[in-house]
Amino acid sequence: MKDRWITDWAPSERWPHYTRANSGEVAPTPVSPLSATYTWANAICQGWRDGYVRTGNYSMDEFDRAHPEAAGFFGGYMYINLSNVRMQGVRNPAVTVEQLDLAFFGDHPDVPPYVADPRDERPDLTPKILAHLGWLMSTSSWPEIDGEREQTITLRAERPDLAGLDDTALLRRVRSLQALIAKLFESHTLSSSGSGVAPGILYAVGQAIGNPAVPMKLVSGLGDVDSAEPSVRMWDISRLVRSSEELTSLFDAGVDDLMERLASSETPDATSFRAAWDRFIVDFGSRSANEYELSADTWETKPKLALATLERVRLQSDEESPAVRLRHRVEERKAVTEEVRAQLVELGNDELAGQFEAALVAANQLVFRERTKTNLIRAIHEARMTFLELGRRHTEAGNLRRIADVFQLLDDELEDFVDGPGKFEDKLASRAAEWSELFELEPPFIIRDGNVPPLSDWPKRGASQVASLAAGETLRGVAGCPGKAVGRARVIMEVGDPGDLEPGEVLVAPVTDPGWASLFMAAAAVVVEVGGQISHAIIVSRELGLPCVVSATGACRAIPDGALVEVDGDSGTVTVLEVPA
């Protein structure tokens, strides 16, 4: 194995610390060459930089043009630039570095302490930062991203017949999508960076009144969260199945050829299901685990992934409806809001009371963040479908060995590939083999001072030993969503293979994103190995009313499958009550 991968970046000298925290949720696997260059380097990272500058926390001249230092790629894995993110805590008077670390990266012991650099202080940026901060704390609607939502919905609805386009037209389509992806990520950067403001202020409020559980309760049940919408729609479809003897029987027979069996039935129940399912795939076919990755399967390219989740969700009783859970969270949030207001009046701290009210408005950024990400994922999926068509036709023509080999192209090779696809066959097949080796490696959680270990020194996945927890022992993580639940732990490594997850059990997963969220409805609580307090999965958990603990390092190996556990979403702990015999 080579010590560097073809898409790796040189570490930044200016901002030398990188982390897999949070990026492990966004890009859990090695990023394919096409995703790393077409999607990330030449689109997302450009929009990331533009969004950062728009917040006022950075100036354009601080960034490298080709590889903006908001991120980095090492061993094929995407890293967030920890040093760069921290500038928001240094330069923004409303947020501290410590609060940002907790919100974005979780409570992980390996995160290096912040060390001041004279270049970090930028008083010339303060007026723009304060103006943006004022916007964050006073904005309850954002027409710009509502317009982008309609734009991306229309993009999907008006998708042309890709098979009818020639290669030049396909290339023209992905180039136009690339510019859109950059713009959409600019919006996503504003909402993502703004998402840490409300939890940060509410953390200070919680400390002042002696109730550290306040922040999570006050950002739960916000409503209108786009990334929760697929889960709600899947729940509705699951009720069709649960209320129908025919559909229940068809699901009981397994999901492998379920759609074929459904297609052979003309009963009203089967017809209603097919119509609802077809609409679901059009609306949410872009979602999946690892949905930023162009080569990853989605609900449209592999519907069985969603059907496997639906097969588990249908088992839940009607009383576990996400609408019922959300209503409880909304009521709790309103009650806690009034309690905190009363306590702040008793304290007589008018400044903190004002910040509290501003934070309640700033919490809208958590909702905006899910909208901007959903918009982005729709556009990325349209690029994915276009590349898949390019791969399909050139596999049939004998220019590629596999359709997926198209994702081994680099962005700057696309035009050459269209001009002469045959000359790439061996090169792309060789890259695919080398790329697959990266999946076997465990990327360093933290890269300090720009020191990237050679790939030959990276440990193999699963090589480290994690002791199983015994009865009475506790694994500590970060509080994600309040509430407590007791149930049997079910360790699930892939969302498309939920195994025998039953209602009332606890879902334990290595990483989750909105592609996993629908599976949450089949569980009583969720435990995740990575993620911070504002990760996408946590925001969805709050909408679905599920106790959740994140940054529970090693949970999938430490918690025995089938163990009886208590998940405390208020304290961020998972306690083993009983281990299986």
Q: How far apart are CA 21 and CA 101, in angstroms?
A: 10
Which pLDDT does position 106 carry in this prediction? 58
Q: How far apart are CA 238 and CA 232, in angstroms?
A: 10
Instruction: Enumerate the β-bridge partners of residue 573.
Output: 476, 568
Contacts of 531 (CB under 8 A, 6+ apart): 21, 22, 24, 25, 106, 478, 480, 511, 512, 537, 538, 550, 551
User: Would you give per-residue pLDDT tens digits along the chain (581 residues)?
Assistant: 689 999 999 999 999 999 987 788 889 899 999 999 999 999 999 999 999 999 999 999 999 999 999 999 999 999 999 999 999 889 988 778 887 777 666 566 778 889 999 999 999 999 999 999 999 999 999 999 999 999 999 999 999 999 999 999 999 999 999 999 999 999 999 999 888 888 888 888 998 999 887 888 888 888 888 988 999 999 999 999 999 999 999 999 999 999 999 999 999 999 999 999 999 999 999 998 899 999 999 999 999 999 999 999 999 999 888 888 888 888 989 999 999 999 999 999 999 999 999 999 999 999 999 999 999 999 999 999 999 999 999 999 999 999 999 999 999 999 999 999 999 999 999 999 999 999 999 999 899 999 999 999 999 987 777 889 999 999 998 888 888 999 999 999 988 889 889 999 999 998 877 778 888 889 999 999 877 667 776 787 888 888 999 888 889 999 999 999 999 998 899 999 999 98
Going by their DSSP bridges, the two strands 525-528 and 506-509 should be labelled as parallel
Which pLDDT does position 581 carry in this prediction? 82
Question: What is the enclosing helix (H) or strand (E) of 567?
Answer: strand 564-568
Q: Which two tokens stand for residue 4?
A: 């560097």
Decide if 263 contacts 4 (C-beta within 8 A): no
Neighbours of 144 (CB within 10 A): 12
Q: How far apart are CA 96 and CA 64, in angstroms?
A: 26
Which pLDDT does position 107 carry in this prediction? 61
Enter the DSSP assignment of 457.
G
Domains of the chain: 474-578 (3.50.30.10)
